[in-house]
Copies of this chain bind each other. A is one copy, B any other.
Amino acid sequence: MSEQRILVTYLTQAKDLQKKAEAIAVGMTVGSWTDLPAAKQEELKPYLGEAVGSQTLDTLDNGESRGLITVSYPLRNFTKDIPSLLTGIFGKLSMDGKIKLVDVQFPDSFLSAFPGPKYGIAGLRERLGAHGRPLLMSIFKSCLGLPFDDLKTQFRAQALGGVDLVKDDEIFFADDRAPFLERISAFKQIARQTEAETGKPVIYAANLTGPVHELNDRAKRAVEAGADCLLFNVLAFGYDALHRLAADPDVQVPIMAHPALAGAFYPSPDYGIATPLLLGKLMRLAGADLVLFPSPYGNVALNKAEALQLSQHLTEPSGSLRQSFPVPSAGIHPGLVPQLYEDFGLNQVVNAGGGIHGHPGGATAGARAFVAAIDAVVAGRTLEEAAAESAELAAALQKWGAGR
């Protein structure tokens, strides 16, 4: 691919897909072409989009073709940020009938303008001293309205079980009972205590909120208060807010991207933005060190091929961008760990809420069951073998079963 062009793939339908690609190539860049005088064409040529190809997937009853089209855009058309990119390749086009933004391929010169993840998989593993295994994260049972002491109790219980990370609820904005900075300090202290007891560090991801133009300052204050990680609702605040946090040398802390609102974009077959791009490529580009996304298991699961593609986008080589940790979420219990390991491999975070808090022995036992399951799969043992040595895992398998 040319170092000077961005390659964009859309899923759409039209009588003639190639003609549609050509119309988009002109309409999304210089506006008109064939009616321009030759001198003007010469002048605007460097800004002109180009129809690269089309591929019919189905022929519809109305005779139209449904398929993929690819358009290339000159790099010079964009400033190097995601609002410019998305507006330029999908802004008004998103309103132009059935069309879904499926993929974007960036030249290295575009990628290198973005900081990407500040820590990435390697940096997070180093911070935690956790190598050669998936990480484990747990979620508060709930946050909203809980007295501070309840949250402290929950945090300690999860940490004692051996989780690597604990994250806030993404809806935790109104936190007057347990304010952001105070929470960070208090949980840091508890984390030090539990590390002294268990020998295992734990990272707390506090939900970063506030006016968008003050987020960097709020993040800096969080770091000063001892924050180890920030949770961030990227789509609610916009990708650029994440980009600017990741690019800020004073915000020395990994950022965990929550997928809240992603379902407003990805599930329609006809409209929106495909998950591997929305929660994969763009999140990594903008600088997420960890990315939560719906797991391909459970009641309302992400399409498996898309979940795997998403995870691949977070971890495959991509310019100089560090890797982001995939965090397939929802419906996770210890019996699923072998499946998770088969699907997402070593470099993932196993993330559970109900699968930890719902354990018959409570959250600490719930976390221990996951730790035993993760140790087992990495060692190539079955969960049943491991359960013989872990009463917590045995109880979890009894409750939730092994496998899906």
Binding site for B on A (CB under 8 A): 28-32, 43-44, 46-47, 76-79, 81-84, 86-88, 90-99, 101, 141-142, 144-147, 169-171, 173-174, 209-216, 233, 236-238, 240-241, 243-244, 258-265, 267-268, 270-273, 294, 299-300
Contact = CB atoms under 8 A, between A and B. Distances in A.
9 contacts: A29-B171, A77-B145, A83-B212, A83-B233, A87-B170, A87-B233, A90-B261, A101-B264, A238-B238
Contacts of A169: 31
Interface core residue of A92, A240, A272 (most chain B CB under 10 Å): A92
A171 B300 contact: no
B171 A262 contact: no
Given A86-B261, A212-B213, A95 B294 contact: yes
Given A241-B212, A271-B268, A261 B94 contact: yes
B271 A264 contact: yes
Nearest to A101: B264
Contact of A29 (B88, B92, B144): B144
A244 B244 CA distance: 16
Nearest to A88: B171
A125 B272 CA distance: 36
Given A142-B31, A241-B238, A300-B97, A260 B79 contact: no
A90 B47 CA distance: 39
Nearest to A89: B171
Given A78-B174, A92-B260, 8 more contacts: A29-B144, A86-B260, A87-B170, A91-B233, A91-B236, A211-B243, A213-B244, A237-B240
Contact of A272 (B28, B145, B241, B272): B272
Contacts of A236: 82-84, 86-87, 91, 238, 240
B81 A211 contact: yes
A332 to B, nearest CB: 14
Contacts of A240: 211-212, 236-238
A94 to B, nearest CB: 3
Given A78-B173, A213-B244, A238-B236, A261 B91 contact: yes
A82 B209 CA distance: 11
A5 to B, nearest CB: 14
B237 A83 contact: yes
A171 B29 CA distance: 8
A16 to B, nearest CB: 16
Contacts of A173: 77-79, 81, 83-84, 87-88
Nearest to A142: B31
A209 B79 contact: yes
A393 to B, nearest CB: 23
Contacts of A29: 144, 171
